[in-house]
A = this chain, B = another copy of it.
Amino acid sequence: MTILALDFGGTKHTAGIVESGVTQWSAREQVFSPPNADARYDLDTVMALGRRLLAGAQPAAIGVSFGGPVDAAANTVRLSHHVPGWENIPLGQLLQDEFHAPVQIDNDANAAALGEHRFGAGQGFVNLFYITISTGVGGGWILNGQVWRGADSMAGEIGHTVVDPHGPQCLCGKRGCVERLASGRYMAQDARQRLYENVLQESTLRELCNGNLESIDGVMISQAAALGDKLSIELLERSARGLGVGIGNAANLVNPQRFILGGGVTKSGERWWQVVRETARQTALPEVQFEIVPAALGDDAPLWGAVALAADCVHN
């Protein structure tokens, strides 16, 4: 039984073909999207990619991870925060018409949670929360072995839980959201601002960015911290503390067995992990047990989740 898995990202798309029960790709390919792409362009690109990988074979089912809010019950995209034209697009139906196979779509955080649950660091754990800490911060729940989407398919938004109402202002309008403190984009923004405002502040970041402060990103901050840069270490510790409070709060509220962390910021070294774990442990009540572990599937977690979504289309 052939499964087609699709991952619509903000800047790149991935398709994979896998035989049911096999945990290795028969084929897998990634394409980057031009900056001016719209929904039509991305849809055509991904459909062509799927057709090419299938090479005439008929898929038994299609699973889709979409990088933005979806209505999983209706199999429609709500919108994309990165690409115009995705408002209320019936992505499930369009793919079903094209490939003549049942389709299930979900957002990327839920898909990644399901991928880690079935094939990665969440195997054997029926209650878990997957969190990606990357440009932004998002999350997906597995409860009783199923994706928990909530009443409006909006569950999992740990990035916009408030952990410090006196903290820095987030684009969402609030202060001290987990994403505002923990994400790579905001850490980079804060680093740039500190270096612009204080031209005498020494920082390895100045060398790493070759004097172009605008090019500072989350990866550079992790690199500078590894080299002992004080500013980068300070920002990463604040990131880890903010996320740790968010995780401890989620543990107290929902009491899952595992938190699985993925995304670029999780590659910032042992100290970042230590502060996340210590802060989460201090925030949760002593009786609330949990582990915090790294994701196992890397950037492919959503695509493996799409495989699981497709498999469930056939079995359920």
Chain A positions within 8 Å of B, measured between CB atoms, are 69, 78, 127, 139, 141, 143, 148-158, 160-166, 172-174, 245, 248-250, 252-257, 282-283, 285, 287-290
Contacts and interface: CB of A to CB of B under 8 A. Distances in A.
A174 B283 contact: yes
A150 B255 contact: yes
Copies in the complex: 2
B249 A161 contact: yes
A154 B286 CA distance: 10
* Secondary structure dominating the interface of A: loop
B249 A162 contact: yes
Contacts of A256: 150-151
A107 to B, nearest CB: 12
Given A156-B253, A157-B252, A157-B288, 7 more contacts: A150-B254, A151-B290, A154-B252, A154-B285, A155-B255, A164-B166, A166-B166
A14 B64 CA distance: 52
A252 B179 CA distance: 13
B154 A143 contact: no
A23 B166 CA distance: 47
A109 to B, nearest CB: 12
A164 B165 contact: yes
